Structure formats: C-alpha cells, structure tokens
Structure 1
Amino acid sequence: MTIRTAWAAAHTPVAGVPRWARIAAVIVPLTVVPSSLWRISGWTLQLPIVYGGPAVLAGDDRTLGMPTSVYVVLLSIFSEAVAFAAVGLVARWGEVFPRWLPGLRGRRVPPLAAVVPAAAGAALLTAIWTAAIVTVPFSRTITGQPMTAPDPLTMHHWKGILAIAMYLPLVLWGPLLGALTVAYWRRRRAASAAG
C-alpha cells in the first residue's frame, strides 16, 4: 500500500457524514493557516509586517525559555496539528484506531473519547477568539482608549489591519468544531442504536 493510498483511506469520510461536515472538517485546519503565516513571517522571518516592528519584536526575544522565533514556529505547528484533529470527526481514524497505534489498532474509538475533548475545545476556542475579537482591537477603536506600547493589533495602520485579518478566521474554529462534534455524536449514537 502506498502512502497516498493509505492517506486517502484514512482521511476519506465515513458513511453517513453529511457534505457540510466534510467541508467544515477541511475548513477547520485552514482557519489556523493565516495567523500562523503572519506570526512566522513577522517574528521568525522578520518581514516588515508587524506594527511597531523592532520595538515589538525586540521586547520578545524569549518565550517559555526558548527564542521567540522557535516558539512561534512550534506554536504554529502545534495549532495546525490540533486543528487537523477535526478531520477525525468525519474520517475513519476518528471511529477506529489506526494500525500504527500499538495496543489500540483496529479497536473502535469510544465516542466520548472524541466528543469530550472536541466539545471542550470548541467551547474554549469559541470563548477565546470571540473575546479576542470583541475586546482587541475593536474596543480600543470604538472607545478611543489610547494604546500603550506599539500594538501589533491596531486598526490605525495597514500592518495592524493585516494582523487582524490574519487572526479573524480563528473565530470560525470553535463553532465549526462544535458543529462537527454534534454531528459526530449523532452519527455514532445512531450507528450504535442500529447495530
């Protein structure tokens, strides 16, 4: 079996997955890509797209004990991997453990093992990104609050607007994951009731 065949078999939607869920499962990982590209371009590659540029970038030379440029890349990879897990809510590997998992291979995934973390993630992501959009930076613009330090998320410069535009798709992550979780739960419950 080739890698391409194995990949297609593992990620092909299972029977009973509605078309909207297949589309949503593909969109979820894509919601993370713009913010990751912005962070990597600005902080790691040092492209001049961060408002406040050197003042903002110089103040963050270490994060969690590692160079910020390394942290940003690792954060972006981690975010994408977590977002990609949404595909499991429509694919075979979300219902049957893959062959490469010793001790679990071929066993059915207990529905709650997928539903509980997915539902918690959906609630947390919805709260985080909704609060971020409501409070930063729009509240500053609406209320006229002065900005303290150079703020990369400002509505007063094209670089800030670019940053906001790159983070805006993250608002979809939580609600899409929530909808996928509900669809997964209903499908698995109906399958267990029928079989």
Structure 2
Amino acid sequence: MTVTRLVPGLLSPPRWAVRAAHAVALVTLPSGVWRLLLAAGFTAGYTGTGYEAMGFTGWGAVYVVGLGMAGELLALLTLGLVRPWGEVLPRWIPLVGGRRPDPRMVTVAAGLGAGVLTLGLAQFAFWWAFPHPDMTPGGNTLAGFLYLPLVAWGPLLAAVTLDYRRRRRRRRHRRVAGAGPVRPCRRTAHSACSRGQQHRAQAGFSPGGGGGSGTGDYSLAPDRP
C-alpha cells in the first residue's frame, strides 16, 4: 500500500523570475562571441592598426577569451536563484559540494553584484556617444549593439534577487506559523484523507494549520509502502 506524504519545500519562483534568470545567461553571449572572434584573429570591426594596438594576440587573446568565459559563468550563476542546485550545491563542486549556501549571504552577494553591474555596464548604453577611432564605422555600430544587452544584466539580476529574498522570507514565516508533524495517511481509490491533504496542498495550506496563498509551497511525494 502506498503512503502519500506532504513534503515541505520552497515556494516555486514565478514564471517571470525564471525567464529573467535565463535572460541574464543570454545577455552576455553577443559580446562573448565577439571576443572569441577577436581572439581567433578576426579584426571584427577594428581597423588593422586598431586591432594591433589593442593586443588581441598571444596573451592578449588568452585574456579576452578568459574574460568572456568568466562573464558567462557569472551570468549562469543567476540560475541558481531559481533552480534546485542553488539550494543544495552539486556534490562535484570541490570543498562545498552538497552544502546549503546561507540565503543571507546569497542575497547580499547577488544584490551587491547587481549594483556593481548596473553602475559599471550602464556606460554601454552611451556607446555611440563617444568616438572610437580604432574601429571602422560599421564595426563601431556593430560593437555597440553587441554590448548593449549587457546594460540589462544588473537590473535583471536585481529583480531575480528580490524575488529570491521574498520567497525565502515567506518560507521562514511559514515555518514559524506552521507547527506539528505531518501525518501520513494511506492513499486508496476513495481515501478522504488523501483527497483532503491534496486539496490543502494545492490551496497552499501548511500542515500545521497555517494558511497559504497557493503558490506551491508543498508538493506531493510518494513514500515507500
């Protein structure tokens, strides 16, 4: 006989937050691909003299590639705010694998990062307001469009961080409001107990009697017989 148990879990992130987190991982791609072209030996909008002056060969190429990869990895970390691996770090990560990061530290780090990125990358919104004599006219226009998405990185990260903080606070408040263990009941074809628990889970009520908003704070998971 199968036993159904209400398992407490995190509030599910709203759809807009999930989309915003994925958008962060995309805004760094255009400029990252452009850097790869520069490291591969393409002038990619620079004049011949300008390309040589920028030093995109040798160690300069390594720096450009590393900068692009670091930016993309940092952007991908935003997904941890809306994905399970952000709650429990993957075990393959050295030293910290399998641990739960402190939500307060995550919120502070992400918030500071959002502020720094917003201030530091806002300059690309004014790319065409400044002369770039080391680039061709077409290259100057193209580079401006490739870097323009970076302006949205900071605001998107800030929005996802605020939602992460909101969900963590609501989870903590529900833990305080709800008390008492969850009683398992046997699930049968006409089990009123199971149906009652399922309705309460869908409505967002906590097992301890606290009300909810139906945001998916609990999920149904079958236990062993």
Instruction: Kindly name which structure, 1 or 2, has the bigger radius of gyration based on alpha carbons.
Output: 2
Give how far 1:103 is off.
Answer: 5.9
Give how far 1:24 is off.
Answer: 0.8
| Equivalent of 1:194 in 149, 174, 177 | 174
Q: What is the correspondence of 1:109-120 to structure 2 with a 5 Å cutoff?
A: 109-120=101-112
Give how far 1:121 is off.
Answer: 0.8
Q: What is the correspondence of 1:106-145 to structure 2 with a 5 Å cutoff?
A: 106-134=98-126, 136-138=127-129, 140=130
Gapped regions of structure 1 (runs ≥ 5): 1-13, 141-146
Query: Taking CA–CA contacts closer than 8 Å with sequence separation of 6 or more, which of the two structures ends up with the larger relative contact order?
Result: 2
Per the alignment, residue 70 of structure 2 pairs with 78
Per the alignment, residue 133 of structure 2 pairs with 150
Per the normalisation by structure 2, the TM-score is 0.67
Q: What is the correspondence of 1:27-46 to structure 2 with a 5 Å cutoff?
A: 27-41=23-37, 43-46=38-41
Change (3 A) 1:93 1:159: same
Change (3 A) 1:102 1:126: closer
Q: What is the correspondence of 1:163-178 to structure 2 with a 5 Å cutoff?
A: 163-178=143-158
C-alpha distance in 2 between matches for 1:170 and 1:111: 26
Asked if structure 2 preserves the Cα contact closer than 8 Å seen for 1:111 and 1:188, the reply is yes
Corresponding pairs, count: 166
**Alpha-carbon deviations, 1:11-65, whole Å to 9, x = none?**
xxx6420000111111101100000111221x212224223x22112113279xx
Q: What is the correspondence of 1:41-52 to structure 2 with a 5 Å cutoff?
A: 41=37, 43-51=38-46
The CA RMSD measured in Å over matched residues stands at: 2.2
Per the alignment, residue 181 of structure 1 pairs with 161
C-alpha distance in 2 between matches for 1:165 and 1:16: 34
Asked if structure 2 preserves the Cα contact closer than 8 Å seen for 1:55 and 1:150, the reply is no
C-alpha distance in 2 between matches for 1:88 and 1:127: 23
Per the alignment, residue 89 of structure 2 pairs with 97
**Percentage of identical aligned residues:** 39
Per the alignment, residue 69 of structure 1 pairs with 61
Counterpart residue type for residue 176 of structure 1: L
C-alpha distance in 2 between matches for 1:36 and 1:104: 29
Q: Tell me which protein shows more strand as a share of its residues.
A: 2
> Does residue 28 of structure 2 align to residue 56 of structure 1?
no
Gapped regions of structure 2 (runs ≥ 5): 1-9, 176-225
Change (3 A) 1:40 1:118: same
Q: What is the correspondence of 1:13-28 to structure 2 with a 5 Å cutoff?
A: 15-28=11-24
Give how far 1:102 is off.
Answer: 5.9
C-alpha distance in 2 between matches for 1:55 and 1:110: 50
**Ranges of 4+ aligned residues in structure 1 off by more than 6 Å:** none
